[in-house]
Amino acid sequence: MEKRDKIYEGKAKILYKTDDPDKLIQYFKDDATAFNAAKKGTVVDKGVMNNKISTKIFEFLESEGIVTHYEKMLSDREMLIKKVSIVPVEVVVRNKAAGSLCRNLGVEEGKKLPISVLEFCYKRDDLNDPLMNECHIIALELATQEELDKIKEIALKINALMSKFFANLNLELIDFKLEFGRFKGGIILADEISPDTCRLWEIGTGKRLDKDRFRHDLGNVEEAYQEVLSRVSK
């Protein structure tokens, strides 16, 4: 697979064209950001670890019938992916209260939610990715109702699968972010799934093994990511 021109660079990844018009190379960076890039830094080998963790989780989800943009891991930092048209709506699935849910609604951190909560955010860095509802998404023509229904269905299925997957590794899936793309007339999972996009607490101890260690200066960030990689690789 020939790597060609860079077509996009985000906070954590770079996308490159290939000699196949339907495939891209996704490169994982060590850059770390939080609070909509108000806080920036570097986590040593984060890109390597997130690429490997995402590979393991995408392969697991594919084996359970979830269609993703993942094709194969090319190197420590590079993943071959399908070229999708990203739906500009981030989907957050919450199982316990943490992060912005606590700040915005005054909910006690760690409170178990009686139902899994789906949130939608407008994927606009210049607007700090504001919360939006289904009516906004339809009115702004970011997705059709049919696409949105499919996104919600897939997101809840992924939540059930990943909650069990991580529980088997003695980790609790507190919440996580997903992105979706259009590919050949359908909606498929895109982006990455890693400690950058998931809150993972160790069962029994509550130890944070995710980007909150960077967000809140808890220390041992690299070690936390390495611990997640070690567990998903078993």
pLDDT of residue 180: 98
pLDDT of residue 1: 80
CATH match of 85-220 with 3.30.470.20: yes
Whole-angstrom Cα distance, residue 230 to residue 224? Answer: 10
What string of pLDDT tens digits covers the 234 residues of the chain? 899 999 999 999 999 999 999 999 999 999 999 987 789 999 999 999 999 999 999 999 999 999 999 999 999 999 999 999 999 999 999 999 999 999 999 999 999 999 999 999 999 999 999 999 999 999 999 999 999 999 999 999 999 999 999 999 999 999 999 999 999 999 999 999 999 999 999 999 999 999 999 999 999 999 999 999 999 998
pTM for the whole thing?
0.96
DSSP count for the chain of H helices, then E strands: 6, 14
Whole-angstrom Cα distance, residue 50 to residue 211? Answer: 11
pLDDT of residue 234: 87
Residue ranges of domains in the chain: 3-82, 85-220
pLDDT of residue 38: 82
Pick the CATH number of 3-82 from 3.40.30.10, 2.30.30.90, 3.40.640.10, 3.30.200.20: 3.30.200.20
pLDDT of residue 80: 98
Residue 63 in tokens? 């084996």
